[in-house]
Structure 1
Amino acid sequence: MQAVVLAAGKGTRLQPLTDDKPKALVEVDGRPIIEDVFDNLIAIGATELLVVVGHLKEQLINRYNDEYRGVPITYAHQREQLGLAHAILQVESLVEDEFMLMLGDNVFRSNLGDVVTRQQEDRADAAFLVEQVPYEEASRYGVLDTNEYGEIVEVVEKPDDPPSNLVMTGFYTFTPAIFHACQLVQPSDRGEYELSDAIDLLIQSGRTIDAIRMEGWRVDVGYPEDRDQATAFLQGEDVPPAEVPGASVSAPELETD
């Protein structure tokens, strides 16, 4: 399965760590974040890495050229950073079938393979890991609103007043149906084409969407302190118990079809 990595961002919130390098090359535990992303994707079966680059793209291209650990890399250039839905459209011509997607600034030690397995079993149009976070942190993410049956009824990107504390993480699988949804997305209040809005369009059109509880941990490296936390976790310091993330989700399944 092909794997798309979104690595075009400037990482302004990570300054000064990103003053002279793209966000994906910020080091966590002594190595670039994107190498951890690549390793995770290869471990669950990635056969090609499609990397969306933008800010200081030459550093990424010159460092990895056309392969990583024997897996071919193809680059797509996002000339303007207009949101994740816009970034995904840059690889539309390169994607052959269902594919994985990982944000290039997330460090995972979790059940990523469960998402791929569910995708292949259900042929879902989207599948992704979800986790519960403190309510005060939910506004950093795409937040899921569910009904009394645990079905996802809406995805809201970085809301001021989150409808829940159940959020999407930075790993997904999609069929090519996501590209049409991304083309239909309108700019958000932030002026960006949001991936959460594209997923919401899939939900509203009755497409099959699967959400899988995350087991393990992940760190979204958005700020310098997140880099420090990810490094500490990788070194075995204060690692959260595997059963904690998502453990208090009440519904037995989180999916809609």
Structure 2
Amino acid sequence: MKAVVLAAGKGTRLRPLTEDKPKGMVEVNGKPLITHCFDKLIELGADELIAVVGYMKEVIIDHYGDEYDGIPITYTHQREQRGLAHALLTVEEYIDDDFMLMLGDNIFRANLQDVVRRQHEDRTDAAFLVEEVPWEEASRYGVCDTNPYGEITDVVEKPEDPPSNLVMTGFYTFSPAIFHACHLVQPSERNEYEISDAIDLLIQSGRTIDAIGLDGWRIDIGYPEDREEAERRLSSSADSNAVTTTKTADPAVETGE
């Protein structure tokens, strides 16, 4: 399964961290954000990585080259940052089957495999990892509504008055049908081609899109304080794993032998 990482952004809200590098190269716990994405996607079974680059793209291309951890990388260029649907169309020629999509500014420690598994079910055209957030934060994200069957029935991008507090997290699986929808999208009030509008077109055409509730955590690295929180959580997770390993590594410790 191919995997797409959107990493064309400037990261203006992350300054001064992005004064000399694109957003995707900001380090979290000693690794660039894109590396965190690549690692997670390979863990999920990605057999090809496609990175959508734009601002200071040479920094990313020079750093990773043609492959990462033995998995080939293809680069596409979003020349203008005109929204996620606009970015996604740059990869259309490389996709002919279901694929994973991850926003390149997210750190996940969550049940992403559940989303991939759902995509393999015959009745599903797309699946998203979704999360309930405080109402006052919902306007930062793509907000969605679902029906009693867990299917997404409506999506609106960064609304001033959110219809719910259920938001998309930045990890999706799609069939190639998403590209036709992206071609039909018109510029939003923000003058961007929104992925939420493309998703709405899929819904209107009768496609089934399932919402998978987040089990674990994720952080959207939008501001320097988000990076600090991600590092705190990653360090905490590493410490917890180390304790677990220590406790189980030597049976004699447990038995008192």
- TM-score of the superposition, structure 1-length normalised? 0.90
Matched residue SS, 2:140: coil
- Is residue 2:192 matched to residue 1:192? yes
Matched residue SS, 2:222: coil
User: Post-superposition, which runs of at least 4 consecutive aligned residues in structure 1 deviate over 4 A?
Assistant: 147-151
- Is residue 2:133 matched to residue 1:144? no
- 2: distance between equivalents of 1:26 and 1:86? 23
User: Any conservation in 1 of the 2:151–2:209 contact (CA below 8 Å)?
Assistant: no
- 5+ residue gaps, structure 1: 240-257
**AA of the residue aligned to 2:108:** F
- 2: distance between equivalents of 1:50 and 1:71? 10
Alpha-carbon offset, residue 122 of structure 1: 3.1
Counterparts of 1:207-222 in structure 2, within 5 Å, are 207-222=207-222
Alpha-carbon offset, residue 126 of structure 1: 1.1
Counterparts of 1:16-35 in structure 2, within 5 Å, are 16-35=16-35
User: Any conservation in 2 of the 1:13–1:222 contact (CA below 8 Å)?
Assistant: yes
Q: Which residue is equivalent to 1:104?
A: 104
> What is the aligned residue count?
238
Alpha-carbon offset, residue 73 of structure 1: 0.1
Superposition RMSD on alpha carbons, in Å? Answer: 1.3
Alpha-carbon offset, residue 147 of structure 1: 4.6
- 2: distance between equivalents of 1:137 and 1:51? 28
**AA of the residue aligned to 1:126:** A
- 5+ residue gaps, structure 2: 240-257
State the structure with more CA Rg.
2
User: Any conservation in 1 of the 2:128–2:210 contact (CA below 8 Å)?
Assistant: yes
Q: Which residue is equivalent to 1:79?
A: 79
**AA of the residue aligned to 1:124:** T
- 2: distance between equivalents of 1:233 and 1:63? 26
User: Any conservation in 2 of the 1:125–1:178 contact (CA below 8 Å)?
Assistant: no
Instruction: Evaluate the alpha carbon distance shift between residue 148 and residue 3 of structure 1 in structure 2; reply closer, same or farther with a 3 A threshold.
Output: closer
Counterparts of 1:156-195 in structure 2, within 5 Å, are 156-195=156-195
- 2: distance between equivalents of 1:89 and 1:134? 32
- Is residue 2:43 matched to residue 1:36? no
- 2: distance between equivalents of 1:133 and 1:192? 24
Q: Which residue is equivalent to 2:244?
A: none
- 1: distance between equivalents of 2:119 and 2:146? 20
- 1: distance between equivalents of 2:123 and 2:5? 21
Q: Alpha-carbon deviations, 1:170-194, whole Å to 9, x = none?
A: 0000000000000111111111000
Counterparts of 1:52-131 in structure 2, within 5 Å, are 52-122=52-122, 124-131=124-131
Percent identity (aligned): 72
User: Any conservation in 2 of the 1:127–1:174 contact (CA below 8 Å)?
Assistant: yes
- 2: distance between equivalents of 1:147 and 1:70? 41
User: Any conservation in 2 of the 1:3–1:49 contact (CA below 8 Å)?
Assistant: yes
- 1: distance between equivalents of 2:21 and 2:232? 22
Q: Alpha-carbon deviations, 1:59-102, whole Å to 9, x = none?
A: 00000000000000000000001000000000000112110000
Q: Which residue is equivalent to 2:251?
A: none
Q: Which residue is equivalent to 1:132?
A: 132
User: Any conservation in 2 of the 1:48–1:71 contact (CA below 8 Å)?
Assistant: yes
Matched residue SS, 2:219: strand
- Which protein has the bigger helix share? 2
Q: Alpha-carbon deviations, 1:3-37, whole Å to 9, x = none?
A: 00000001111111111100000010111111010
Q: Alpha-carbon deviations, 1:195-217, whole Å to 9, x = none?
A: 01111111111101111011000
Alpha-carbon offset, residue 145 of structure 1: 2.3
- 1: distance between equivalents of 2:131 and 2:164? 11
Matched residue SS, 1:122: coil
Alpha-carbon offset, residue 58 of structure 1: 0.1
**AA of the residue aligned to 2:178:** I
Instruction: Evaluate the alpha carbon distance shift between residue 61 and residue 8 of structure 1 in structure 2; reply closer, same or farther with a 3 A threshold.
Output: same
